[in-house]
Amino acid sequence: MDKKLYLMENEDEIKRLELKTESRAIEEQARWAGLKPGMHVADIGCGTGKTTFILHSLSQPGGKATGFDISEERLNFAKEKYNIEGIEFKTFNIIEPFPEEYKFDFIWIRFILEYYRKEAFDIVKNISNAIKPGGILCLIDLDYNCLNHYGLSKRLENTLFKAIKLLEEKANFDPYVGRKLYSFLYDLGYTDIEVEVRAHHLIYGEIKEKDEFNWFKKIEVIFTGNIPNDKLINYYINSDIFVIPSLEETFGIPLVEALALGVPIVASDGSKYKEFFIPFNEIGRDLVIYFDPYSEVDLAEKMIYALKNKNEIRKMLKDKIDEIKNTYSIKNIARQLIHEFNNIKI
């Protein structure tokens, strides 16, 4: 994956990838594509290394496999868990030129191109340069991704379509990349092209525990309840962004707390918060990203923007933190209150 925002990134992503990767499905698809013993295999976007391990086993005897990924965390996991002879893992940014020293008999790209709507064709073109003469390129991805579920309420279905459309426009996501794979290969001059269409996530009856875990991680919302003050700081520090969609609030202490800890803020434009930040002037007025409180699409857009630019926003906030802390310190607020009381005319 590229170092841009990865849609599924979370602290349990390694666990999710390990659980959702079904050995039987990998084996069936790889054998259908022509993977045979003795081949040198590349697994592009290898993640935790589980698929690389399966592909390596299918290339035996005599084969070897190399897994490529951009995530150092997942590569370290792969190196530790699947550290056997004949397997290696390398750091690779999929949108950069492929290292010229690598040539493979079989290249596997599964569920990666959907994250690169604009660059998908160029990625396939780039990867094609690493195939040996007579080698095999296996592309596997989804079509109509997340848009083919039956039994949803009309409201949920409309929301889902809006969310996917937003991901297309703002996050470079392609829910229809599956139907494009043949044309990618055809336009690149491949002559022996085979296509197979299969159902993915065919779920019926009682849901399996691993499927439930996988899907809940895609839409996970955790209701914490009341958080004690002594633990509140940990929530701020570990947050990527702070979103406050309220229409009405009082002073807005959480915003000051979040800003003081350098957390990017997305706040309702129709709330009191915009008025609250007027006294900040250069200190805080331009440090908050506002959204239309009556538009879930605008909220999603601003959240995606904040997530994609969180590092730059944090750098900007860093220069203002001391000023924010001083402006809204207990001593300064107390001094202002005393001043106001002293100026009351009876």
Domain region containing 302: 229-342
Query: Binning pLDDT at 50, 70 and 90, where does residue 6 land?
Result: low
Q: What is the pTM of this model?
A: 0.71
Residue range 181-194: mean pLDDT, rounded: 96
pLDDT tens digits for range 211-259 = 787 777 766 777 888 999 888 999 998 899 999 888 776 667 888 888 8
**Percentage of the chain with pLDDT > 70?**
90
pLDDT tens digits for range 295-309 = 888 888 899 889 888
Asked, for residue 180, whether it belongs to a domain, the answer is yes
pLDDT tens digits for range 17-74 = 888 888 999 999 999 999 999 999 999 999 999 999 999 999 999 999 999 999 999 9
Residues 82 and 212 grouped into a single domain: yes
pLDDT of amino acid 285:
58
Given 171, 193, 218, the domain boundary residue is: 218
Residue range 280-288: mean pLDDT, rounded: 55
Domain total of the chain: 2
In three-state form (DSSP H/G/I as H, E/B as E, the rest C), the secondary structure along the chain is CCCCCCCCCCCCHHHHHHHHCCHHHHHHHHHHHCCCCCCEEEEECCCCCHHHHHHHHHCCCCCEEEEEECCHHHHHHHHHHCCCCCEEEEECCCCCCCCCCCCEEEEEEECCHHHCCCCHHHHHHHHHCCEEEEEEEEEECCCCCCCCCCCCCHHHHHHHHHHHHHHHHHHCCCCCHHHHHHHHHHHCCCCCCCCCCCCCCCCCCCCCHHHHHHHHHHCCCCCCCCCCHHHHHHHHHCCCCEEECCCCCCCCHHHHHHHHCCCCEEEECCCCHHHHCHHHCCCCHHHEEEECCCCHHHHHHHHHHHHHCHHHHHHHHHCCHHHHHHHCCHHHHHHHHHHHHHCCCC
pLDDT of amino acid 324:
77
Residues 169 and 311 grouped into a single domain: no
Asked, for residue 8, whether it belongs to a domain, the answer is no
Residues 192 and 242 grouped into a single domain: no
pLDDT tens digits for range 64-79 = 999 999 999 999 999 9
Residues 198 and 268 grouped into a single domain: no
Asked, for residue 7, whether it belongs to a domain, the answer is no
The answer on pLDDT for 283 being more than 80 is: no
Given 218, 241, 268, the domain boundary residue is: 218
Q: Residue 246: which CATH number?
A: 3.40.50.2000
Residue range 108-131: mean pLDDT, rounded: 96
